[in-house]
Amino acid sequence: MSAVSKPLLIEIGTEELPTNSVSVLGKALLEGVCDGLKIRNLSFGKAHWYASPRRLAALIHDVEQVAPEKMTEILGPPVAAARDQNGKWSKAAIGFAKKHGSSPENLTEKDTEKGLRLAFCSTIQGVSIEDSLTNIITESIDALPIEKKMRWGAKRISFARPVHWAVVMYGSTVFHEPILGVTPGNITFGHPVHSPDPILLSNPEEYEELLEAARVIADFEKRKNSIHIQIQAAAKDMNATAVVDEELLCEVTGLCEWPVALSGSFSSEFLSLPGEALILAMKTHQKYFHLLNSEGELLPHFITICNIESKNPEEVIRGNERVIHPRLSDAAFFFDSDMNSSLESKTSSLNQIIFQQRLGTLLHKVNRIDRNARRIAKILGASESEASQSALLCKSDLASQMVLEFPDMQGIAGRHNALNDGVSSSVALAIEQHYWPIYAGSKLPETEIGVCVAIADRIDTLVGIFGAGMHPTGSKDPFALRRASLSILRILIEKAYFLDLRELVDFAIEGFSDDLLDSGTSTAVLKYIIDRLPTYYDENNISVEIFRSVSALGIYCPFDIDLRVKAVAHFSTLPISESLAVANKRVTNILSKVDESDSLIEINEDLFSTEFEVRLAADLKLVKEACLDLILKKDYGAALEQLSMLDGPLADFFENVMVNSEDSTLRANRISLLKSVHEQFLKVADISQLAGK
């Protein structure tokens, strides 16, 4: 580090930013500035990001003023070729020196692995923060993940929101190079109501403290924690438990700079509505946190977060109570209207809703889900009639007023409507739970009927969308096929169902009209689903090599794959696994190079010419017999233990037996023995994939 290092502050003051982008942009700004410093070899200390509705900022301590000098060394021709027979510099030496703006006399000699070489050495001066900062800021701003930029005034400059001020300070030095159309200074602004006057900064390190004195908690995480503490305190005062939804907590943190929690109430008459509807009305429209009593029942109270410390909080509370009443009244109206007609009567309306242009309406999709669900129910031994009824009703609430107003009520509204119609609870639950898991890590369908419809729905979507040629990409997945695939895998693995995906996919394909789907749909869908498994196992700390050792077998039953993966994962921790994997790798390599002339034959024990062949064949026979029942029982861990008995015999075989014998008969017999060993391992996994992991 140079002798001089100072703190660096960059702040961009804007109009209110999109709430869901506040923290993302704050982190990205800091990351971009730090990357810019690293690229220029300017060292720095601790770094912190700030973000509120009206500002993005980065504070970086101990930023080096000038990067250290950098020594460079470029190798040239060999020293032996540097001079001619008369001792004069050769063309090669002169040309190399001239290329780098020097003369041969200024070159040095460098001892390398290939002998002495001429070398050109130079010193590159380090860049200064003064010369680099404008470019660093510009690069950082350009790299911000802004979904939709906007312009303002007559300027062609664009950003997430109009920019009103900027601060760029290095120590006490203020930079004035324009940023996003404004000239930076050392003046920031506090809370627009509590402290609207400009704040003069003399040093970057006083930034957070001065803003907090001006009623702005600039630190996003600190502000978020303050809100959480206030919510819990307010709930405690009411002898209640606040449900703090993380997504909502982050959203309100992005809405305020000086959060103040206030509690309010609504009429207890609304508690006759489904709790989910009340919660969604409060969360979606008003950003309220709901409260539960000691029995976990919803209370007619809420907590709201204000961006102002009011002198008359009671009036603020009354205002919020006035606003929530019509919202809940609307929810009550929609719910009552929906209950006046059966869920089944809403099904015909699905014919007016396009699922996908090529694949038809939601009614077409529901009929395909019905067909798939009945098939899955038959395999699982569940009620085919209940699976069919659930499938035919599972999307009907999409035509309800409640779901049109609150999309997150899909499935939930259907369950309430079904129960109101007198439908069995198992069917009603399946209507709701076929959407489960709703997001990564959330709960799975709890009933077999729910499982049948959940898988049937997702398989139909995957087959249809892939068949329509709309394959997802890394950035575009409008039908959430990645999530659908992971959901299927989770359900089958975590609920231990031996369902074969190939059978389900091929059956689903038959449910579409002839020539509607692209050729190769089955292969594409199966590959896409199975390709999600590495992500699933990575989250469970299982390496990709272990997964590949099983996926190499071409199995399409996720639960069977999982049993094998976990068995291999345990096996890989054993001392014997490494040598056995290497031996299997050697077997695989030998078999991959088998010449057609060495046509594999039945193993002939009379052709064994060494005790090592005899021993390997005998032990292989014992292992085969022991593994037969274990593999049928899916006890792959025990099967691998049996297979590990071949470690010693295989090692001795390779040490003492020449596989590629000049005698073609002996060679073919030995290759057949190794092929038999390889095939036995492949009944569990291809552990050669573990070699060199």
pLDDT < 50 stretches in the chain: 1, 693
Is residue 668 helix, strand or coil?
helix
User: For 409-500, where are the alpha helices, taking DSSP H only?
Assistant: 412-420, 425-433, 448-467, 481-494
Q: Structure tokens of 245?
A: 């939804």
Prediction pTM value: 0.80
- How far is Cα 494 from Cα 569, in angstroms, rounded to an integer? 17
Q: What is the dihedral of CA 519, 523, 528, 530, to 10 degrees?
A: 170
For residue 216, which of 308, 79, 145 has the smallest C-alpha distance? 308
Q: At a CB cut-off of 8 Å and minimum separation 6, what does 530 contact?
A: 501, 551, 556
Where are any strands of DSSP class E within 207-253? 241-242
Residue 33: HSE in the Cβ half-sphere, 13 Å Cα cutoff:
28
- How far is Cα 267 from Cα 337, in angstroms, rounded to an integer? 20
Q: Structure tokens of 459?
A: 């398989």
- Strand duo 150-151 + 115-124: pairing: unpaired
Structural domains for the chain: 5-67+128-213 (3.30.70.260), 70-124 (no CATH), 222-339 (no CATH), 345-531 (1.10.3210), 563-690 (1.10.730)
Residue 9 CB: number of other CB atoms within 10 A? 24
CA 245, 248, 253, 259 dihedral sign is: negative
Question: What is the residue whose two structure tokens read 């130079």?
Answer: 122
- Note the pLDDT of residue 597: 55
- Note the pLDDT of residue 593: 83
- Note the pLDDT of residue 693: 47
Residue 590: HSE in the Cβ half-sphere, 13 Å Cα cutoff:
24
Residue 68 CB: number of other CB atoms within 10 A? 14
Question: What is the residue whose two structure tokens read 């190939």?
Answer: 502
- Note the pLDDT of residue 305: 97
- How far is Cα 249 from Cα 255, in angstroms, rounded to an integer? 10
For residue 397, which of 370, 372, 425, 421 has the smallest C-alpha distance? 421
Residue 650: HSE in the Cβ half-sphere, 13 Å Cα cutoff:
25
For residue 398, which of 389, 407, 390, 385 has the smallest C-alpha distance? 407
CA 208, 211, 217, 220 dihedral sign is: negative
- β partners of residue 111: 116
With beta carbons less than 8 A apart as the criterion, state whether 54 and 15 touch.
Answer: yes
Question: What is the residue whose two structure tokens read 């809703």?
Answer: 353
